[in-house]
């Protein structure tokens, strides 16, 4: 991690085959410049919605970042809903998402800085790949398999 503050970039993705349906979360945590991968994997969630999978990816990623001593996190996601809810542009109306949103805010509160950036799916390919690997194998994969 570089600079005075420990900075990381967190690519997250979630997906469900059916909504709800079999779901997984993908996380790729790297150095701020993206050159060194610190954690990567897919978490198989069982039956869930796409939005729950997206939030689960955020929670898993923030938890990993904090465990590694990160102080500043840039979250990169292709979920416009998640990004807008976490930045306060959208209100969280769904009860299931409210609890996850509150958990994410609590993790954010332990950081000096947490920023969110929305990208299109092409800009989030590695996290998406981990989602699909976990869905295809129906189990945690990569570093997530060690959990």
Helix (H, G, I), strand (E, B) or coil at 74: strand
pLDDT at position 146:
87
Identify which has the larger pLDDT, 131 or 33. 131
pLDDT at 1 over 80: no
Rounded Cα gap, residues 60 and 111, in angstroms: 15
Average pLDDT over residues 108-134: 97
pLDDT at 4 over 80: no
What domains can be seen in the chain, in order of their start residue? Answer: 7-139 (3.30.420.10)
pLDDT at position 147:
67
The answer to whether 134 and 140 are in contact (CB under 8 A) is yes
Average pLDDT over residues 7-33: 96
pLDDT at 2 over 50: no
Q: Order of strands, edge to edge, in the sheet holding 21-31?
A: 113-118, 72-77, 7-16, 21-31, 37-48, 141-142
Q: Give the mean pLDDT of the chain.
A: 94
The answer to whether 58 and 77 are in contact (CB under 8 A) is yes
Average pLDDT over residues 112-135: 96
Dump pLDDT digits (tens) for 49-90: 999 999 999 999 999 999 999 999 999 999 999 999 999 999
- Model confidence at 5, in pLDDT bands (50, 70, 90)? very low
Global model pTM greater than 0.85: yes
């Amino acid at each position: 991690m570089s600079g005075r503050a420990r900075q990381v970039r967190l690519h997250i993705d979630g997906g469900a085959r059916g909504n709800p349906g079999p779901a997984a979360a993908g996380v790729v945590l790297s150095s701020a410049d993206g050159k060194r991968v610190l954690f990567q994997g897919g978490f198989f969630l069982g039956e869930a919605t796409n939005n729950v999978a997206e939030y689960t990816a955020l929670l898993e990623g923030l938890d990993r970042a904090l465990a590694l001593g990160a102080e500043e996190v840039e979250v990169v996601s292709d979920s416009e809903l998640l990004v807008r809810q976490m930045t306060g542009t959208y209100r969280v109306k769904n009860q299931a998402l409210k609890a996850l949103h509150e958990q994410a805010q609590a993790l954010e509160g332990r950081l000096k800085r947490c920023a969110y950036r929305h990208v299109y799916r092409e800009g989030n390919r590695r996290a998406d790949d981990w989602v699909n690997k976990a869905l295809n194998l129906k189990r945690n994969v990569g570093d997530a398999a060690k959990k």
